A and B are shown apart, each in its own frame.
Chain A
């Protein structure tokens, strides 16, 4: 059984239907990329999975359990960690508090995972007691991703981690995500092709709210025509 199975998903915000037919299937342990041009519906796809955007029709199943209509906080407890486009870091909380806030359980395993996050991102360890408002963009991204690792999540959703970061920082982040993907299943929304290639194996391409294509990411590298058509590259 696949870990996440999304079929014919249609979702809406107010009067606007944004997703108009998205099909995605992910196996346990995979890392997949969601590609697509600006405004294609990538962010909306992740937000619909989290229950932040309402589903009109279609199905979303995590480990065979439907997520449609489930409140967001329950979806989080079902094992999905979410790193939004703007990081979702809390400025008036310290790094430590940002991580602690995410904790679902107070056990040794959680404490170990927090240790792991601090090893993976030494920047966070150095600034542990500092307010998050003092962090740089890259460090915010680290905190956002780190926070998604605090719980034993089945699936981690990351929205454009490369956005607005300097090339060296993107490289560091790509390495960290590659490391994380050894243990976790990842859905990565990306427009930065290098990042997507470095971290994921397969891709789904979304255009105008629909999944229009999917395949191995290495095949896409050479397919200039497809890139042109759906990514506007």
Chain B
């Protein structure tokens, strides 16, 4: 019993981490129609910037802030200079975002080396509690709190503010938003930058969970995020929250029951969803 609860707990915390990547990927896809293959790179940069600043200063809030800021800045750079030129052109988008992924992953290796680096959790989050046979890793609890805050905050912005209204409308029909007199392109930049900042935050929170960083972690986590987008339904914020939880828990459970297939399990899961519910498990319930 305790084992199962611990497993669920771990799965949920992994899900919260994936959610940071997946929700932002999904909103960018829904609003701008851009499949952003450079999203994992932003995650990677978030992770490295965090580790670099943390190992250097030991100042945790500063390190998180730096990672988020770098993500945000790179997001503006990517959107303004590259992606804004290829809206509506799917094949050009794939080339541009893949190109950015390759270049910025290489740049990461140039700056921080190809070797694995290590980074510790801040001391106030590094404890473990036990009660009733359940093991609670404090850092994982913290990830869940972050996931809940981002979900609730994101949902409030989407449903209660004018910006949120514009994003919801733009996900369905950005041309019509434009026709109503709203400069939707400006929102594209800001949404892309916020999405990039969330990816950066994801990387910053992931590295101390893992303890080590290497330059492949961006691509690996991006794959999981893409799988969530497919499972959760494209462009759906709540869908990606549910999809992330689902994936996190399934991966944890499968990893325990059938460790041999735990690496391919997410891909298998996505294949099953695509076969039986091509619009995503939650997409239909949340969006039309």
Contacts and interface: CB of A to CB of B under 8 A. Distances in A.
B172 A101 contact: no
Contacts of A151: 181
B165 A101 contact: yes
Contact of B168 (A92, A100, A147): A92
A133 interface: yes
A100 B180 CA distance: 10
B151 to A, nearest CB: 17
A133 B288 CA distance: 7
Interface in A187-206: none
B179 A76 contact: yes
B238 to A, nearest CB: 11
Contacts of A133: 288
Given A88-B173, A90-B173, A91-B288, A147 B165 contact: no
B176 A84 contact: yes
Size class of B's contact patch?
20 to 34
B165 A76 contact: no
A102 interface: yes
A28 interface: no
B138 interface: no
A91 B165 contact: no
A45 interface: no
Contacts of B178: 52, 71-73, 76
B169 interface: yes
Given A73-B184, A91-B288, A92-B287, A101 B179 contact: no
Interface in A60-85: 71-74, 76-77, 82, 84
Contacts of B172: 90-92
B59 interface: no
Interface in B108-147: none
A25 B288 CA distance: 40
Given A92-B168, A92-B287, A101 B175 contact: no
B182 A73 contact: yes
Contacts of B184: 73
Nearest to A131: B288
A82 B166 CA distance: 17
Contacts of A102: 180-181
Nearest to B235: A92
A172 interface: no
B181 A100 contact: no
B288 A84 contact: no
Which residue, B162, B169, B176, B183, has most C-beta atoms of chain A within 10 A?
Answer: B176
Contact of B181 (A52, A73, A84, A88): A73
B180 A84 contact: no
Contact of A100 (B165, B173, B179, B183): B165
B269 interface: no
A173 B136 CA distance: 63
B177 A84 contact: no
Which residue, B172, B176, B178, B180, has most C-beta atoms of chain A within 10 A?
Answer: B180
A88 B287 contact: no
Interface in A201-226: none
B185 to A, nearest CB: 8
Given A73-B183, A88-B179, A101 B288 contact: no
Given A71-B183, A73-B178, A82-B179, A93 B288 contact: no
A147 B182 CA distance: 14
A72 B168 CA distance: 19
B162 to A, nearest CB: 8
Interface string B145-181: 0000000000000000010011011011101111111
A77 B180 CA distance: 8
Given A73-B179, A104-B181, 7 more contacts: A52-B178, A72-B179, A74-B181, A76-B179, A82-B179, A88-B179, A92-B172
Interface of A: 50, 52, 71-74, 76-77, 82, 84, 88, 90-93, 97, 100-102, 104, 133, 147, 151
16 contacts: A52-B175, A52-B179, A72-B178, A73-B181, A76-B180, A84-B176, A84-B179, A91-B287, A92-B168, A92-B171, A97-B165, A101-B166, A101-B180, A102-B181, A147-B180, A151-B181
